[in-house]
Amino acid sequence: MALTKEFYRALEDIVGPRNVSDDPAVTENYRCITAQSSAHSGPYETRTPKPQAVVLPGCTEEVQQIVKLCNKYKVGFKAATTFWAAMGYIGNDNSIQLDMIRMDQVEVDAKNMIATCEPFAIGATVQVEAMKNGLNCNIAGVGCSSSTLAGSAGWVGFGPSSISMGIASENLLGVEWVLPDGEIVRTGTLGSDGEWFCGEGPGPSPRAIFRGWTGTAGSMGVCTKIAIRLHPWPGPKWIPTRGAAPMYRADGLDMVRAYTVCFPTWDAYAEGFRLFYEADVCYLAHRQFNMFGRDIKTAMVEILTHPEKQFRDLPEVMEDPYIKAQNDEMKIDVQVVVAGLTERDLDYKEKAFDAILAQIGAHKSEYYLQPDIEDFVKLYLLRLARKNYNYTLCSSYEGNFGLSPNVFVAAPLMEEASALKREWEQTHTGVAAVGGDSDMGSASGIGGGGTTGWEFFVHFDGFDRDSITDSCAFIDRTQEWMIGKGLGADMGRWNADARKPDGYDYSQEEHDALYAGLPQPALAIYPWKIREAFNPNHLTGTYMKTMTPPEVKAAQKAKKTQKK
């Protein structure tokens, strides 16, 4: 459905001719392969719809004018920044795509320990500006090249540092929010005195409607600016680095220590996490390098940290007796960063940390205590700058399982989950074998600990139909396992009810059928009521899970009967 000339000219009047395009060579690039999305499906020919135009707004006022124009002409829209997953793309043929790349400013208020961020201020930029002021920010597990605003305002947003800094919903303060109907809401102190320093008080708030726990993934208008809480940073104002790619190492981090902890059992692993939480000794905790597979991870790190080595050397490196012995000790491990604001603070945390390890029979990996390796791990975990490593073993990957309950529930199931994945890799050809258990993720899904945030990496060929189909079938299988264990949906299916496998939005009737058997219907009825109040024209996709209330269905049925 092509846009009218009148609508397109109006877009040009708002943002300027250079910042809007309906050229197929441009719009075709704003599509997503649904096999590589937040709800894994296939095959690779299946993509999200092509937008009728792509618009690059430069300020909140332009966004507001665009949204009001879309409401006037009943044209759908979706805003996105770094386009990490399918949730940022449109869901029907009569829509335009807002690319927020021109809005990239970040300002730090050191006194109030906050940063105000526009949509395209990525984690790396926000962190650099924060560190100049002795502060730091939580970077979501997606990495430092992703939008801080998107992770904080639109999606879950936990990461390695969440154990000390909290997740997105805990750090989000003020919000400048263009509603789906074009009105602007400013929350917290921003809405009362124009300052960004504090969010809402206790009780119901606009922020709860705006993002809730997981976020609405761009289906409730456009967020144009946020304020996030910053946290103390004990390191230098900038981190000097050295070395050649990919072995960058950090200097000047004298108040920061990085360890890999080796646990004897999964019970010890869970108990260790509990004690880490209670003693408040971790600045950051993440099971990172296991993403390569626990049978090969030490050899992979050895190759990454020695530029003269190549991946083809993997078999030879794995046979090295020292590497082999060290890897055997790290079957159950986690990378931990301990940081002190003062020498006394660091001394206490180190002693408490060592006491916890002694209590549960765990120890620090000797391999990771090597100065160059420790410097590499520090920089890797503090910056989360090398997400390209996720693609080392195959052209595409999808996170699945998503074991995110209490650590005492998740940890005992790890070997069973690993065995399930391993069996599939050995009996099917579409999912790449990655060297055993590939579970990785944050030690904490909320600030201070409690929930976890673990995913397994499913590596596949994103341009091979059979590989996509097989990986999709595997995630269906792990979905069955997750539900059978009472753990909820598999991570690869978290958004399966938000966008159909063909890349298009669900209709309300289809959503009603999907949620008809919900044990707690209010979970879908309440979002329906919110959407009807804030987004009456349904212009921003179906990432809100909605079900028509029974009384509304009855009224609609009665109306149809009367017409007959």
Residue-wise DSSP of 300-346: HHHHHT-TT--GGGHHHHHT-HHHHHHHHHTSSEEEEEEE-SSHHHH
Does residue 139 share a domain with residue 54? no
Does residue 267 share a domain with residue 189? no
- CA 24 to chain CA centroid, nearest Å: 30
- At residue 64, does pLDDT exceed 80? yes
Q: Which residue has the tokens 């009996």?
A: 427
Phi then psi for 109, rounded to 5 degrees?
Answer: -105, 95
| Residue 501 in domain | no
Does residue 48 share a domain with residue 18? yes
Query: What tens digit of pLDDT does each residue of 461-478 get?
Result: 988 999 999 999 999 999
| Residue 353 in domain | yes
Does residue 220 share a domain with residue 149? yes
Strands 222-229 and 172-178: antiparallel
Class of residue 443 by CB neighbours under 10 A (exposed 0-12, middle 13-18, buried 19+): buried
Query: What tens digit of pLDDT does each residue of 362-383 get?
Result: 999 999 999 999 999 999 999 9
Decide which of 441, 469, 495 is a domain's last residue.
495
Tell me, what's the pLDDT at 1? Answer: 64
Does residue 437 share a domain with residue 368? no
Phi then psi for 237, rounded to 5 degrees?
Answer: -70, -25
Does residue 326 share a domain with residue 436? no
Helix (H) or strand (E) holding 254: none
**Section 204-222 average pLDDT:** 82
CATH of the domain at 204: 3.30.465.10
For the chain, state the CA radius of gyration.
24
- At residue 387, does pLDDT exceed 90? no
- Domain of residue 65, residue span: 5-99
Does residue 122 share a domain with residue 31? no
Domains of the chain: total:
5
Rounded Cα–Cα distance for residues 96 and 3 (Å): 9
Q: Which residue has the tokens 């909290």?
A: 166
Decide which of 176, 204, 232 is a domain's last residue.
232
Query: What tens digit of pLDDT does each residue of 527-558 get?
Result: 999 999 999 999 998 988 899 999 998 888 88
List the structure tokens of 324: 């082999």
Does residue 368 share a domain with residue 248? yes
Amino acid (1-letter code) at residue 297 = K
Tell me, what's the pLDDT at 36? Answer: 79
Rounded Cα–Cα distance for residues 333 and 401 (Å): 19
Cβ neighbors of 253 (< 8 A, separation 6 or more) are: 235, 236, 239, 375, 378
Does residue 428 share a domain with residue 352? no
- At residue 98, does pLDDT exceed 90? yes
Does residue 450 share a domain with residue 350? no
| Residue 304 in domain | yes
CA atoms within 13 A on the CB side of 170: 21
**Coil vs helix vs strand at 390:** helix
Please answer whether residues 169 and 151 qualify as being in contact, where contact means their C-beta atoms are separated by less than 8 angstroms.
Answer: no
| Residue 500 in domain | no
Decide which of 436, 460, 495 is a domain's last residue.
495
List the structure tokens of 241: 């680095």
Query: For residue 321, what are the CA distances in angstroms to 70, 360, 487, 512?
Result: 64, 27, 39, 59
385 C-beta neighbours (distance < 10 Å), count: 18
| Residue 238 in domain | no
| Residue 261 in domain | yes
Please answer whether residues 163 and 282 qualify as being in contact, where contact means their C-beta atoms are separated by less than 8 angstroms.
Answer: yes
First CA to last CA distance, the chain: 32
Strands in 204-245 per DSSP E: 222-229, 231-232, 241-242
| Residue 337 in domain | yes
Rounded Cα–Cα distance for residues 348 and 368 (Å): 22
Query: What tens digit of pLDDT does each residue of 2-61 get?
Result: 899 999 999 999 999 999 999 999 999 999 988 878 788 878 889 999 999 999 999 999
CATH of the domain at 88: 3.30.43.10
Largest CA distance in the chain: 82
Does residue 142 share a domain with residue 181? yes
Please answer whether residues 153 and 169 qualify as being in contact, where contact means their C-beta atoms are separated by less than 8 angstroms.
Answer: no
Rounded Cα–Cα distance for residues 49 and 320 (Å): 50
Rounded Cα–Cα distance for residues 183 and 180 (Å): 8
Does residue 352 share a domain with residue 273? yes
| Residue 239 in domain | no
CA atoms within 13 A on the CB side of 426: 8
Q: Which pTM value belongs to this model?
A: 0.94
